[in-house]
Amino acid sequence: MPLQLPIRLHPDAPHLDRLTPRSAIPGGSFEVTGSLILKDNELPEAFFGETPATFDMARSTRARIRVPSGAISSDLVVRRNGIASNVLHANVGVPMAEDLHLVANPAVDTDGNIFAMVSGPRGERVPVSIYRIARDLQITAHVRDLLNISSLAFDPTGQSDGDLFASSRADGAIYRITPEGQVTTFAEGMGIATGIAFDRGGNLFVGDRSGTIFKLQPGRTATDTAEIFVFATLEPSVAFYHLCFHPDGRLLITAPTTSSHQPIYAVDADGNTTTFFNGLGRPQGMAFDVDGNLYVAASLHGERGIIRVWSSSTGTMQAELAVAGNDLVGLCFLDDGCAALATHTTLFHADLGIEGLPLV
């Protein structure tokens, strides 16, 4: 085998050391650290593969580079005065479904099919309410004519025969949808029903954004009605409640407002509410990985994307940007280390190398 010599860069070439965060979608920005990125006021150029990108900021030792529309995962290179840097691999999410109206997390079934909503303006029906995206990315209409779908969830216990549950903020109802797309009304009278999530006992929790968290005991067949209890009360939300269960059994809730410093609430089994984490801007959809790290669509220090929240070895809560992207409202992890990332209009596929927990 011939000896491979190291590539020698021009001594005046920009050098790239590190790229953060883990991933980005078009419109989001990577931060690059290195040296000689900017020199003698010579403006650098950046490329994702062959696709040119723009700089949000450039200094000698760091830069912020915005991911352009149409970019895919590729090598990032910076050129200054015709001299190219070394390359760093940039992990970029790619669209897999567009022209949606997503207001919360997508949902994924045990076969890896993804379900995404077209919520629509309040009080207006849309031709397709829920789409199904198969593993091969084929998109089909799954449910039609439901009004203002706000949240989707599967029962992880398997007690509900693989049925999908959906809330409607317009009529305060919870719908139960078979794998074939047949719809029945599961519960009514949920106020402005937004976020929904199942616990590990198969109970369904519904967030009425006017201030109530309901607990529903599912029936065992599609025609059974549910028993409804008031589980907890919170301050009303100007937008939505988003619900997700912590691995320890606590129900986590976000209630986004226009503030840049908002909490994630935690509700224990007795309905007592505490603050799980504070300091996010407009937190929305959430999901956990198998290591107990929380991922939430939010802003942190002015940067929008998917924020990872975890507890350090000292017990203090920490947060960092994991995926950069504007307009992100939710996510769900797939079974291959990838994730489906939802903006208001588009569902992106991103290889994050993260093993997620079911959305419970």
Give the model confidence (pLDDT) of 260-319 as tens digits: 789 999 999 999 999 999 999 999 999 999 999 999 999 999 999 999 999 988 889 999
| Contact present, 40 and 3 (Cβ < 8 Å) | no
In a domain, 81, yes or no: yes
Mark whether 248 and 193 lie in a shared domain.
yes
In a domain, 238, yes or no: yes
Mark whether 237 and 346 lie in a shared domain.
yes
Per residue in 325-351, pLDDT tens? Answer: 999 999 999 988 999 999 999 999 999
In a domain, 257, yes or no: yes
Q: Residue 134 is encoded by which pair of tokens?
A: 């198969």
List the CATH number of the domain containing 226.
2.120.10.30
In a domain, 276, yes or no: yes
Task: Choose one of 40, 65, 90: the last residue of a domain.
Answer: 90
Mark whether 76 and 216 lie in a shared domain.
no
Mark whether 232 and 281 lie in a shared domain.
yes
Domain residues for the domain of 71 are 15-90
Task: Choose one of 52, 73, 90: the last residue of a domain.
Answer: 90
Mark whether 75 and 121 lie in a shared domain.
no
List the CATH number of the domain containing 80.
2.60.40.10
Which parts of the chain have pLDDT scores under 50?
1, 3-6
Task: Choose one of 90, 125, 140: the last residue of a domain.
Answer: 90
Give the count of domains, the chain. 2
Mark whether 69 and 127 lie in a shared domain.
no
DSSP 165-207: EEEETTT--EEEE-TT--EEEEE---SSEEEEEE-TTS-EEEE
pTM for this one? 0.93
**Using DSSP, how many helices (H) and how many strands (E) does the chain show?**
0, 33
In a domain, 342, yes or no: yes
Per residue in 262-272, pLDDT tens? Answer: 999 999 999 99
Mark whether 36 and 149 lie in a shared domain.
no
Mark whether 114 and 55 lie in a shared domain.
no
C-alpha span between 202 and 245 (Å, rounded):
12
CB atoms within 10 A of CB 183: 20
Closest CA to 287 of 210, 211, 350, 216: 350
Q: Residue 290 is encoded by which pair of tokens?
A: 């198998």
C-alpha span between 341 and 278 (Å, rounded):
23
Mark whether 250 and 223 lie in a shared domain.
yes
